[in-house]
Amino acid sequence: MNHDTIFSKIITHKIPADIVYQDKYITAFKDIMPKAPVHILIVPNIIIPTVNDVKMCHEPILGKLFTVAAKIAKQHGIHENGYRLIINCNHHAGQEIFHFHMHLLGGKYLGPLIE
Ligand code: 5GP
């Protein structure tokens, strides 16, 4: 059974967010605490809590995250300089919201992945 998350409330417009893309499967919105000039969260509309919960039936929707990421990067003019896509899973990665999401970060040189 899926429990509501803060992201599902954003997806269903129950709470506000700066949504930059939405379709039947995916919603993308600006991170409330951006870590880069462009910081967008790309989220499946269905709740998958973590990468550990990914099943074969999710493969099409998770593949679509990349199509949407590339489209948004182009719209923000960061596709040529580049950007980083991050998916955190559980405590050691610092996952805070247990609704699968991809961070799209860019708009400046991001430095090494882990310092
Ligand atoms: P995680 O650490 O789970 O990978 O990332 C969660 C992200 O969600 C964080 O970067 C955090 O700033 C963002 N976030 C948390 N709550 C909200 C919210 O209510 N609205 C938006 N737009 N972003 C949020």
Is there a domain that residue 53 lies in?
A: yes
CB 71 within 8 A of CB 22: no
Q: How far does the centroid of ligand 1 lie from the alpha carbon of residue 14, in Å? A: 16
Is there a domain that residue 39 lies in?
A: yes
Is there a domain that residue 1 lies in?
A: no
Q: How far does the centroid of ligand 1 lie from the alpha carbon of residue 59, in Å? A: 23
Is there a domain that residue 112 lies in?
A: no
Is the pLDDT assigned to residue 3 strictly greater than 60? Answer: yes
Quickly count: other Cβ atoms within 10 Å of residue 53's Cβ: 12
Mean pLDDT of 18-37: 98
Alpha carbons 112 and 110: distance in angstroms, whole number: 7
Counted residue by residue, the chain has a size of 115
Q: How would residue 20 be classed by pLDDT, with cut points 50, 70 and 90?
A: very high
Q: How far does the centroid of ligand 1 lie from the alpha carbon of residue 113, in Å? A: 19
**b/e for 17-29, b at 16 or more Cβ within 10 A?**
beebebeeebbbb
What pTM was computed for the model? 0.97
Return the pLDDT at 115: 73
Is there a domain that residue 56 lies in?
A: yes
Cβ of 31 below 6 Å from ligand 1 = yes
83 class by beta-carbon count within 10 Å (0-12 exposed, 13-18 middle, 19+ buried): buried
Output the domain CATH number for residue 54: 3.30.428.10
Least confident of 1-5, 9-13, 41-45, 109-113: 1-5
Return the pLDDT at 114: 82
The two tokens of residue 7 are 């992201």
Residue of 33, 51, 100 to mutate, ligand 1, most atoms within 8 A of C-beta: 33
> How many domains is the chain partitioned into structurally?
1
Is there a domain that residue 114 lies in?
A: no
Measured from the Cα of 94, ligand 1's closest atom is 2
Is there a domain that residue 113 lies in?
A: no
Is there a domain that residue 90 lies in?
A: yes
* Sheet arrangement for strand 83-86: 19-22, 26-30, 38-44, 102-106, 83-86
Query: Which structural domain, as residue segments, surrounds residue 91?
Result: 6-106
Alpha carbons 111 and 74: distance in angstroms, whole number: 21
Active site residue 101: yes
